[in-house]
Amino acid sequence: MSKGERIFVVFLIVFLGGPFLATTVGGRNTSLLDWVIGFAVAVVAGAGAYYLLGQQQARASARQEQLAREILGSALPSGEALRAFAHGYTGPSRTGIILLFGVLADMIVNAARRQWYYVVLTTHYLALVQVDGKDKRPTGIHQVLRRDEVKGVDFKAGTLEEPKLVLQLAAERLELRLGSDMVGRAKELAAAWNGAV
């Protein structure tokens, strides 16, 4: 669950749960104090949900990364050291879809139009592992390229849309949009690439 989706859940908890709690506590004679208590409890519940969903996302991410590493282990020569690791997607912007049409539309677009990838930089290779868009589970190796087969790797900060990791591959240019949790990793990956070339 992305940061935007977690904020949406908090919004629902606060603005649906607050009035519900206020009228439950106060009954027919709901006072200002009942409203304050209702919204205070809803805010605390929302903050807790945001934190717990973030922890769940971090654990799921760690498991998925481990699966991607295991998939790559069989495709790369022994002795390859992992230098950087990130993931992103190609296709319509999540931010734009969510702002214009909502989370449900984003889920539909994600299933139909986006391709997700893990990008793995090792000592001598750049690898792309295809990822299932629904649960972010690695499904197989998309490409493994020697470093001399890749023309460049750049990080581009977004202004009105998500930041991107731009991969200039031998046969194509791949622009991977990044979630907020991957920006730091994508910067590290681009820096590791550019520092070693």
Number of domains in the chain: 2
Q: Which pLDDT score is estimated for 197?
A: 42
pLDDT given for residue 112 in this prediction: 67
Tell me: do 163 and 92 sit in the same domain: yes
Does one domain contain both 122 and 175? Answer: yes
Sort 68 into a burial class: Cβ within 10 Å, 0-12 / 13-18 / 19+.
buried
Q: What are phi and psi of 90, to 5 degrees?
A: -105, 150
Comparing CA positions, the residue from 176, 101, 96, 107 lying closest to residue 135 is 107
Rounded to an integer, what distance in angstroms lies between the CA atom of residue 12 and that of residue 51? Answer: 15
**Is 37 contained in some domain?**
yes
pLDDT digits (tens, 9 = 90+) for 183-192: 888 899 899 8
Asked if residue 156 and residue 94 are part of one domain, the reply reads yes
- Give yes or no: residues 104 and 175 share one domain: yes
CATH number of the domain encompassing residue 95 = 2.30.29.30
Is the whole model's pTM more than 0.75, yes or no? Answer: no
Residue 25 sits in the same domain as residue 84: no
Residue 117 has what pLDDT?
87
Residue 178 has pLDDT above 80, yes or no: yes
Does a structural domain hold residue 186? yes
Q: Which residue's entry shows tokens 């930089």?
A: 121
Model confidence over 3-51: pLDDT tens digits?
667 787 888 888 888 888 878 877 777 788 888 888 888 889 888 888 8
Domain boundaries, position 87 = 75-196
Q: Report yes or no on 48 lying in a domain.
A: yes
Q: Where are the alpha helices (DSSP H) in 3-93?
A: 3-26, 32-73
DSSP structure string for 142-170: EEEEEGGG--EEEEE--SSS--EEEEE-S
Domain-located, residue 70: no
Establish if 67 belongs to a structural domain: no
Residue 174 domain-assigned (yes or no): yes
- 115 has pLDDT over 50: yes
CA distance 65 to 71: 10
Q: Answer yes or no: is pLDDT of 144 > 70.
A: yes
87 within a domain of the structure (yes/no): yes
Find, among 58, 82, 59, the residue nearest to 70 by Cα.
82
Based on the domain organization, do 136 and 186 belong to the same domain?
yes
Q: In terms of pLDDT, which residue wins out, 68 or 122?
A: 122
If asked whether residues 119 and 41 sit together in one domain, one would say no
Examine residue 170 and state whether it is found in any structural domain, yes or no: yes
**58 vs 11, more confident:** 11
CB 120 within 8 A of CB 126: yes
User: Residue 3 is which amino acid?
Assistant: K
